[in-house]
Structure 1
Amino acid sequence: MMRGAVDYPNAIHFDRMLSAVHWGTFLNLLRIPGVALSIAVVRRLTELQGIRSAGPS
């Protein structure tokens, strides 16, 4: 059945599209821990800058 199929250069390849959707979903899910880690690092750096600007006790 597939021997008679013609590969058109402008055709939509749904198997590749589905793969792209899965990768997009996976990469979007990576944002959540990335944002949480970024917030934690910025808060820690801000805390350390506050301690440093207070000078020696």
Structure 2
Amino acid sequence: MADFLTPTERSALMARVRGRDTRPELTLRKELHSLGLRFRVHRKVSAQLTTSFPPAP
């Protein structure tokens, strides 16, 4: 598949792509927090998780 964008246009487009803190992600975190759930965000784990719940004490 040929790229129909110039390298400059492709760079500008890719610069707008967000990997974290997207609107749906922020909405979900806000709702979880309002329900009293506490969690870690962007924790380094083996899977590609953005939100994880720490073990209970």
What's the TM-score once normalised by structure 1's chain length? 0.35
Structure richer in helix, relative to its length = 1
TM-score by length of 2: 0.35
Q: Which has the higher strand share?
A: 2
Bigger radius of gyration: 1
Which structure has more RCO (C-alpha within 8 Å, separation ≥ 6)? 2
